[in-house]
């Protein structure tokens, strides 16, 4: 099986790429600035993109170029060779209030057009809030790192907005199921199906770290949905947020002790 992973040096891509290299002997990886190999891949896992919603407000063209333009080139490669495309969209793309979400939404529309016109086979993965011990952004990392460093954290809004936090290893398991032919082609929700408010997450981090966090509240930079979580998640037996946060905090403690 020949597989291409774009964005293979990023947080999510590096985990998936590393896991696939252990199972398959023909796995290529590229990032945004690399040329795209003209090979007849069986699967293209297209993870390469800019991902920070708040930064997209200041860099709309960059988010178009590195999300939509790159995706169109990937779709052309898939059309040429009959590759199956695995593409992650966002839990926020249905309410496109920023360049990041709009680019994600438009890529999905192009994917569906390619399916209708050219018979493209695809798995569209609606990603929710992915975290893990090697992530260096996102609420789980920011809150955990602040707790261990005795630093304040910033919460946008009142902290009652609900999100679905899924461990990166569970995301990798979803990819495995697709490549093993255990998932029908289509759209899939990659989340836990359990909503956790930002305030609840703060409480979990405080309990596991043993540190009371100082919280600064700020107004939303961009409009955000009050509740986003998977209604029909692809996986049913996911890592709990408590166990996941514990793993993140343990890893950060190891890093801090090693740097002293």
Q: Where are the domains of the chain?
A: 1-127, 129-166+192-260
pLDDT tens sequence across 104-149: 899 999 999 999 999 999 999 999 999 999 999 999 999 999 999 9
How far is it, in rounded angstroms, from Cα 100 to Cα 116? 25
Domain 1-127's class? Answer: alpha beta
Give Cα 150 distance to the centre of its chain.
Answer: 28
Split at pLDDT 50, 70, 90, the class of 260 is very low
What value does the mean pLDDT of the chain take? 93
pTM, 2 dp: 0.92
Give the mean model confidence (pLDDT) for residues 45-50.
88
Task: List Cα–Cα distances, 243 to 116, 132, 175, 185, 208, in angstroms.
Answer: 42, 11, 22, 31, 9
Right CATH number for 129-166+192-260 from 1.10.10.10, 3.30.365.10, 3.30.420.10, 3.90.25.10?
3.90.25.10
């Amino acid at each position: 099986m020949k597989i291409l992973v774009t964005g293979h040096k990023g947080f999510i891509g590096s985990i998936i790429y590393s896991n696939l290299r252990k199972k398959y002997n023909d796995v290529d990886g590229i990032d945004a600035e690399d040329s795209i190999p003209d090979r007849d891949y069986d699967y293209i896992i297209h993870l390469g993109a800019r991902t920070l919603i708040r930064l997209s407000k200041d860099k709309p063209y960059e988010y178009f170029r590195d999300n939509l333009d790159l995706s169109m080139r990937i779709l052309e490669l898939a059309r040429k060779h009959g590759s199956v495309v695995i593409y992650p969209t966002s839990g926020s793309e249905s309410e496109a209030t920023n360049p990041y979400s709009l680019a994600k939404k438009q890529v999905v529309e192009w994917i569906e057009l390619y399916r209708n016109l050219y018979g493209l086979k695809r798995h569209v993965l609606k990603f929710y809030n992915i975290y893990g011990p090697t992530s260096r952004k996102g609420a789980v990392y920011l809150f955990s790192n602040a707790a261990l460093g005795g630093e304040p954290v910033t919460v946008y809004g009142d902290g009652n907005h609900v999100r679905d936090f899924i461990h990166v290893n569970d995301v990798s398991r979803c990819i495995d199921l697709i490549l093993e032919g255990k998932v029908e082609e289509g759209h899939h929700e990659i989340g836990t199906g359990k909503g956790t408010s930002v305030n609840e997450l703060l409480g979990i981090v405080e309990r596991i770290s043993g540190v009371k966090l100082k919280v600064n509240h700020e107004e939303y930079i961009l409009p955000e949905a009050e509740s986003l979580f998977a209604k029909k998640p692809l996986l049913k037996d996911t890592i709990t947020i408590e166990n996941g946060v514990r793993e993140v905090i343990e890893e950060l403690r190891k890093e801090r002790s090693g740097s002293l």
